[in-house]
Chain A
């Protein structure tokens, strides 16, 4: 047995075996899961990071309209680029805990209405100068300024006052929020000299790599920031982010060794890539999910029986199998899963039930005219397939669901948030409060189901200031039930991150927070060969 074990440990060291595989195989040999996990960590860490070389990442989701301004980042490529040259005050690590970055300490007053962040001293920008508390204040203020068009505007709006004193930044909140550090970890809030007011797209930050050249939607090249403060990151000499939007070309690029890691491996191609000894497939179950959203204030979806009929008419397992290729898990019509702290896993899983769906549908007295579900190839990967499968299972229950494919072009302005029933997606948030606040609070900007429930709102506000974890969990559970049984959200599946790396890339950690190790893969990985 030990011979086999050694062999497996060697494979782990070479990066040829994932944690899941290792623990699975060793427990099958009789080891306890805990011991197996510990052995894996030891094996994986046994090799010291190797310095040098060039790592190229092939990432999907970049356009020639992209910018280096962190406020404007809205898709995977700019996200990955900004995470490579820039840093935020804090981060959320792979286990969902807050990790200190440019802040050394974070603390709040007793009722969580005021937060203090102590700024790490001596951290240098690529363009010279060190990070000051004033830079942090200016950064927050820039994102609060509506002219910056920041994607983090909704987050920083909750900060009523931000001030600097020495190396300490104080943020006063409009209302109590025990989760503020998770919000400040938002990837838009990269700290820039002077807040980035003068040159928002200069790409001048504190990250392990500094931008050498950028061609939006094509390639951005970086070199190591010589005076980088954190020795545990930044192992390669140079790194590059290549935009490769085509699924087949992206997987061909890693097979040909033109890139060393790729984002978004299509589940349908995983088996082929696994057959290549030089490639390792990585997966992480995250909070991201694909949804069909109904406006609860528009007919026929203003009738909860209709909403329940449609919720019962989705074959969730079929969607996970055929659209996600098994790389995901079933949803339960509320936007929270095991990736979140304080998740209540005792809520009953909703199943496909044609008879019940038909029963609810009969109660609505709908006239039988087609119910139009709008979708587009870009609503989420496989959105047209998913809508077609939904329509087929709903038709089997006698519900006249009909799919209409809309152009990708203009989908988010003409269909989403406009039409009463359409396909969409959410990337998820690090904490429950943020997810619910973003899209389910009555007054939320992005309340795309038009869901308004006074009791739900009360619970959400109360939970923010509730410091007793058990009570807070109970409140979140009640909220989950409300959304699940009354909301306009049909959430059939949570999608896993499925990504690929070449075997010579080491240091990979499955991180559910975002694509490519929450955007840190180029910072944390190194080349063994």
Chain B
């Protein structure tokens, strides 16, 4: 087997093993969460009796190991059980919300990633001159705003000053693709603002780092234009750190956007997880936790594999 292929296969196998280990960690970690499900569900208006009833019903009397294997078996057969709080079928609830989460993350990523790399390359090409400084200033501004502030600004300008969009991102089944896209325009704008700077600045730094190397000088001596040098020689060699940061931001777009979901009342997984953590609805927390973990592991794996493939020395070992 080609050593690179071996590395890649190894990496994928490790990812799967890791996922299994994480399922144990999540299961136990969630069980160890402080607080009482019954009290959390009933809130301030809980009577001691109602509390007792609820605790009894949830039947947490079996040993943890039995429950873990029962849970794992359920996941493998696509049965995630029902939520303790509202008895809803978890797999069904997750289905639509996961779609919405990926739709929002995907839309933001499709804009943000190419834009960040393009801006980062331009900034590197004109390092220290005005395009670089302008791009830096704008991206630093957007990244310095907490998400909810960025969201409020966007709401203020795009629903009130220029009423183009609606503040609540209502996505309903039966809506067309473009209709949905219009509905989520505001959260997409906010998310692009939030993740752009990180990827752009890393692209710029990584390219500048490579630009000092001897082979870049060779390329320059060959008479290539500066932009050609950047694209053909510097960027391919700067890929590893850029991919690493792009991966972090993609993961963030999937698992970390609960604030944006709340502000725009967007029906997605982040809010679903937080609501159920608050109510200590363990089956839901465990299921969503595992999905988020799988997303991270998949993206980390992808980044590592791209890293392996992009490294010429690893690709062609001596």
Residues of A near any B CB (own CB < 8 A): 58, 63-67, 69, 72, 74-75, 146-147, 149-151, 153-154, 201, 215-219, 242-246, 248-249, 252-253, 255-256, 258-259, 408-410, 412-414, 416, 424-425, 445-446
Q: In the complex, what residue of chain A is closest to B152 when comparing beta carbons? A: A248
Interface mask (B250-292 → A, CB under 8 Å = 1, otherwise 0): 0000000000001111010001100111110100000000000
Q: How large is the interface on B (under 10, 10 to 19, 20 to 34, 35 or more residues)?
A: 35 or more
A244 shortest CB reach to chain B, Å: 5
Q: Are B85 and A446 in contact (CB under 8 A)?
A: no
Q: Are A256 and B50 in contact (CB under 8 A)?
A: no
A249-B264 in contact given A153-B50, A258-B168 (Cβ < 8 Å): yes
**Closest 4 CB pairs between A and B?**
A413-B39, A67-B86, A65-B85, A252-B167
Task: List the A side residues contacting B267 at CB < 8 Å.
Answer: 215, 217-219
- Of residues A64, A215, A246, which shows the largest number of chain B Cβ atoms within 10 Å of its Cβ? A64
A218-B86 in contact given A64-B272, A244-B168, A412-B43 (Cβ < 8 Å): no
Q: In the complex, what residue of chain B is closest to A259 when comparing beta carbons? A: B168
Q: Are A216 and B168 in contact (CB under 8 A)?
A: no
Once the chains are docked, how many angstroms separate the CA of A510 from the CA of B303?
A: 59
Q: Are A66 and B263 in contact (CB under 8 A)?
A: no
Q: Are B88 and A216 in contact (CB under 8 A)?
A: yes
Q: Are A242 and B47 in contact (CB under 8 A)?
A: no
Q: Are A74 and B272 in contact (CB under 8 A)?
A: no
A146-B86 in contact given A64-B271, A217-B271, A412-B39 (Cβ < 8 Å): no
Per DSSP, are chain B's interface residues mostly helix, strand or loop, or mixed? helix
Task: List the A side residues contacting B40 at CB < 8 Å.
Answer: 410, 412-413
Task: List the A side residues contacting B45 at CB < 8 Å.
Answer: 74, 151, 446
Once the chains are docked, how many angstroms separate the CA of A249 from the CA of B40?
A: 26
Q: Does B31 contact A (CB under 8 A)?
A: no
Q: Are B166 and A258 in contact (CB under 8 A)?
A: yes
Contact of B277 among A74, A201, A253, A409 (CB under 8 A): A409
Q: Are B35 and A409 in contact (CB under 8 A)?
A: yes
Once the chains are docked, how many angstroms separate the CA of A72 from the CA of B83?
A: 14
Segment from B155-163, B198-206, B221-229, B241-249 that makes contact with A: B155-163
Task: List the B side residues contacting A246 at CB < 8 Å.
Answer: 148, 262-263, 265
Once the chains are docked, how many angstroms separate the CA of A216 from the CA of B271?
A: 11
A256-B160 in contact given A65-B86, A65-B275, A412-B43 (Cβ < 8 Å): yes
Q: Are B57 and A147 in contact (CB under 8 A)?
A: yes
A43 shortest CB reach to chain B, Å: 32
Q: In the complex, what residue of chain B is closest to A188 when comparing beta carbons? A: B45
A65-B276 in contact given A253-B168, A413-B35 (Cβ < 8 Å): yes
Contact of A201 among B39, B48, B49, B86 (CB under 8 A): B86
Q: Are A252 and B155 in contact (CB under 8 A)?
A: yes
Task: List the A side residues contacting B46 at CB < 8 Å.
Answer: 412
A256-B278 in contact given A201-B87, A216-B86 (Cβ < 8 Å): no
Q: Are A153 and B49 in contact (CB under 8 A)?
A: yes
Task: List the A side residues contacting B151 at CB < 8 Å.
Answer: 249
Once the chains are docked, how many angstroms separate the CA of A238 from the CA of B223?
A: 70
Task: List the B side residues contacting A154 at CB < 8 Å.
Answer: 47
B217 shortest CB reach to chain A, Å: 53
Contact of B168 among A58, A150, A409 (CB under 8 A): A58
Once the chains are docked, how many angstroms separate the CA of A380 from the CA of B48?
A: 22
A258-B167 in contact given A147-B57, A409-B277 (Cβ < 8 Å): yes
Interface mask (B45-61 → A, CB under 8 Å = 1, otherwise 0): 11111101110010000
Once the chains are docked, how many angstroms separate the CA of A258 from the CA of B88?
A: 28
Contact of A245 among B93, B152, B265 (CB under 8 A): B265
User: Can you offer 16 A-B residue contacts whose CB atoms are under 8 A?
Assistant: A63-B275, A63-B279, A74-B45, A146-B52, A146-B53, A147-B53, A153-B50, A242-B170, A246-B265, A249-B151, A252-B156, A256-B166, A410-B34, A412-B43, A412-B44, A413-B36
